[in-house]
Amino acid sequence: MTTETIYRSCPTCEASCGLVMEIDREEKQVISIKGDPDNHRSGGYVCAKSQAFRYIYEDRERLTRPVKKVGGQWREIEWEEALSETARRLADIRDQYGKDAIAMYYGNPNGHNFSTQIYTQMFITLLNTERFFSAGSVDQQPKNLSCELLYGNGWVFPIPDIDHTDFFVCMGGNPMVSQGSLMSAPDIESHLKGVQQRGGKVVVIDPRRTETADVADQHLFVRPGTDAFLLMAFVNELFATHRVAPGRLLEFTDGIDQLESLSAPYTPESVAAITGVPAHHLRQLVNDFCSASAPVLYGRIGLCTQTFGTLASWLVDVVNILTGRLDARGGAMFPRPATAHNDPAAAPPQLGYNRWQSKARGFPEYMGMLPASLMAEEMELQGEHQVRALITVAGNPVLSVPNGKRVHAAMEKMDFVVAFDFYINETTSQADIIIPSTTQLEHSNYDFMFTSTCVRNFAQYSPQTFDPPAGALDQYQILNEVTARMNGMTRADLESMMLDGMIDQLQANAADLSHLSAQDIKQKTAEHQGPERLLDIMLRAGPYGDKFTGDGLTLAQLKTMPHGIDLGPLESRLPELLATEHQRIDIAPDVITRDIPRLQAALDDGPSRHMLLIGRRHIRDMNSWLHNLNNYARGKNRCTLLINPQDAQRIGLVDSGKAKISSRVGEFEAEVAISDSIMPGVVSLPHGFGHTYRNTQQSVASALIPGISANDLVDDNEMDMPSGTSVVNGVPVQIVAV
């Protein structure tokens, strides 16, 4: 056996830790995966998920060839048959019933694949359906919306400069498990301990005493779905104690006076009952925050996926702006990706909001998408607006969206379903054709999205490790092949269009490239092809790039630096980064403030009288991705109903016993786990389980960790109104002993 050493980043979560792999290329085997001690970001650290992409590659139930359902049974078919039949059937439906007769669902794994991300927009544009759904509306979309309204770009996120803060407040996030979602940081525990070692403090505000709360200095319980009330009271207290001090941000920020009146009704006392946070605790938090030298407030998915997700996400930034902690060292800062993909365009873009509405209830689109919560009801429509075909791209909406069993039932009525996926799971088992892509080991990668969410700027290229099976295609190639065939084109035509379009866009937005012709740029990047050529163009045109002159970052240079490149700490980028009119921040945009009367009505109604359900994650889980991997599935049951001892005693539950949990849309039995780590009145189920459908081919998931789908308890009628994000935290439920 001849071994070879490969360096790359981990593609499983946002942290993108550096890895060193020992492989046998001839046998196409991974011998070992360990942390790369020479990676400047992770320094040898890895978590349990670092092995996931290897296990997926080795999983014998992973599809490597297209399959078609014939007589209720799957049979392998040739690539040409799969691509041609898929394109033909989709084109026929579009031509006969219109473009919106095709629906599409886009899953979370695509965010970890550079080539898919870079070509997806062209696929969506040419498909041109208004029935586009994605995992984003069960995740971060309130943050997209609030950031677009504040900064002009929904993908420009303020990231905690955690290595320089001395007071870190974490709301609705659990970075010890996520490794820092929208705060990408390998070995997050070392960063949190760094705050404490500098004499600072870590505070966690969450309905559950999470793994992050366990290492924090302080934990405050807050009732699910009430973070917006707490943050409004935080703003109220800032004004009441004359602590509003935006500093230099005042020069380009409008609407601060409006916030004082908007927050006036939300005193710490008025929100204490509904949030569960005593007024004196909130006042102390505000005082401690304002007394610190470099505080920062951070909020994540728990704030997004609730009734007031957009208000809560917006208010996190409002607090950081009012206290001068936005774009300040140790505060919330903006990364500078080497590909410049969060730089402002030459002209402020129009807000992509409410350009069309869903057919069933008239809910507005955002970012070209409809809420995933509306997926089933759109698919159930009959008559003129009937959905006839569904495309899923690396997604499992049956487990991932609210009331997923309703999606599963609706899929049975489709004329045609195609899944671009390499598993026969709870969703793809309903397809007519499944077309699998290559895995991470079979194509190169670049941490595109996560260079805009990192706590320190970096760039790293991950080389292709093994050749894929004969005929196998990358995800972007499948998308391009189907799109081209639907429109009487070739894949080469689309790739040429993409290349020309990127060059045109760069020349329109970058004055320092105006002297170069499109042909000049093509000649200078001809050594690369496909997505790597586009990556080279972006790197060379970016802030660290050579501007096509030979002095600066290029893809060729990046490939010679296997441990990645340290591009330095986060630095001030405002107001230049703003893509808003006149490069100003409107801190009280109408789209958001119009939702405040709904917040006031909920305050008037008072605390919920129901038990409230929230989600949770484990270090060995990544949504529903990893459950067919024996190394992660084994061990004790993780899909348990977490409940406080007071509630357990009142209901008559015993540890490891059974409870029946029901909501408006579903009912399940679950194993009970009693713990004082969750506040009274709240229960928790983990996300991504529910492997109980008989027609799947994921034997490990079905046998070892079937669990229950928490999303089948989530009401698909309940959404955050501005963004359409699903309310998966704070779901009213009833609990009884079995």
Q: What CATH class has 155-340+574-596?
A: alpha beta
What is the pLDDT, as a whole number, of residue 628? 93
> What pLDDT, on the 0 to 100 scale, is given for residue 574?
98
Distances, alpha carbon 82 to alpha carbons 78, 87, 434, 447, 585, in Å: 6, 9, 8, 30, 49
As a whole number, the mean pLDDT across the chain is: 96
| Omega within 30 of 0 (cis) for the link into 463 | no
Taking the CA atoms of residue 38, residue 39, residue 40 and residue 43 in that order, the dihedral angle to the nearest 10 degrees is -80
> Phi first, then psi: what are they for 368, rounded to 5°?
80, 10
Q: 351 exposed, middle or buried (CB, 10 Å; 0-12, 13-18, 19+)? A: middle
- Label the pairing between strands 611-614 and 682-684: parallel
Tokens of 309: 């997700």
pLDDT tens across 216-268, in order? 999 999 999 999 999 999 999 999 999 999 999 999 999 999 999 999 999 99
Nearest to 583 by CA among 256, 343, 307, 282: 343
- Residues 192 and 213 sit within 8 Å (Cβ to Cβ): no
Q: What tokens does 680 get?
A: 């009274």
Contact 289, 295 (CB under 8 A): yes
Distant-in-sequence contacts of 522-527, Cβ < 8 A, 24+ apart: 524/548, 527/556
Is the Cβ–Cβ distance between 90 and 391 less than 8 Å? yes
Chain region(s) in the chain for CATH 3.40.228.10 = 155-340+574-596
pLDDT, tens only, 562-612: 999 999 999 999 999 999 989 999 999 999 999 999 999 999 999 999 999
Task: Check residue 719 and report its DSSP letter.
Answer: B
Separation of alpha carbons 269 and 266, rounded Å:
8
Nearest to residue 169, comparing CAs of 327, 331, 305? 331
Q: What is the pLDDT of residues 454-489, one digit of tens each?
A: 999 999 999 999 999 999 999 999 999 999 999 999
For 188, phi then psi, to 5°, come to -60, -30
Mean pLDDT of 552-563: 97
Gyration radius of the chain's alpha carbons: 25
Please report how many Cα atoms fall inside a 13 Å half-sphere around the Cα of residue 539, on the Cβ side: 29
How confident is the model over 172-190, as a mean pLDDT?
A: 93
Listed in sequence order, the DSSP H helices in 24-78 are 52-58
pLDDT given for residue 294 in this prediction: 98
* pLDDT at residue number 180: 84
Q: What is the rounded distance in angstroms from the CA atom of residue 596 to the CA atom of residue 535? A: 42
Cβ of 274: how many Cβ atoms within 10 Å?
20
Find, among 473, 479, 547, the residue nearest to 515 by Cα: 547
Q: Is the pLDDT of residue 738 over 80?
A: yes
- Cβ 437 vs Cβ 62: under 8 Å: no
Q: What are the backbone dihedrals phi and psi of residue 432, each rounded to the nearest 5 degrees, phi first?
A: -90, -35
Query: In the structure encoding, which two tokens stand for residue 497, read together?
Result: 């269009």
Q: How confident is the model at residue 342 (pLDDT cuts 50, 70, 90)?
A: confident
Instruction: Give 618's pLDDT tier (boundaries 50, 70, 90).
Output: confident
Residue 550: predicted pLDDT:
81
Helix (H, G, I), strand (E, B) or coil at 226: coil
Half-sphere exposure of 512 (CA within 13 A, CB side): 9
pLDDT at 731: 97
* 48-74 mean pLDDT: 95
344: preceding bond cis by omega (within 30 degrees): no
Q: Tens of pLDDT along 506-515?
A: 888 877 787 8
> Has domain 608-737 been given CATH number 2.40.40.20?
yes
Work out the pLDDT band at 288, boundaries 50, 70, 90.
Answer: very high
For 651-706, how does the pLDDT look when each residue is reduced to its tens digit (9 = 90+)? Answer: 999 999 999 999 999 999 999 999 999 999 999 999 999 999 989 999 999 999 99
- Per-residue pLDDT, averaged over 633-653, amounts to 96
Cβ-proximal residues to 612 (8 Å cutoff; 6+ apart), any chain: 207, 223, 224, 225, 681, 682, 683, 730, 731, 732, 733
* Residue 574 amino acid letter: L
Report the pLDDT value the prediction gives residue 290, as an integer from 0 to 100: 98
Residue range(s) of every CATH 2.40.40.20 domain in the chain: 608-737
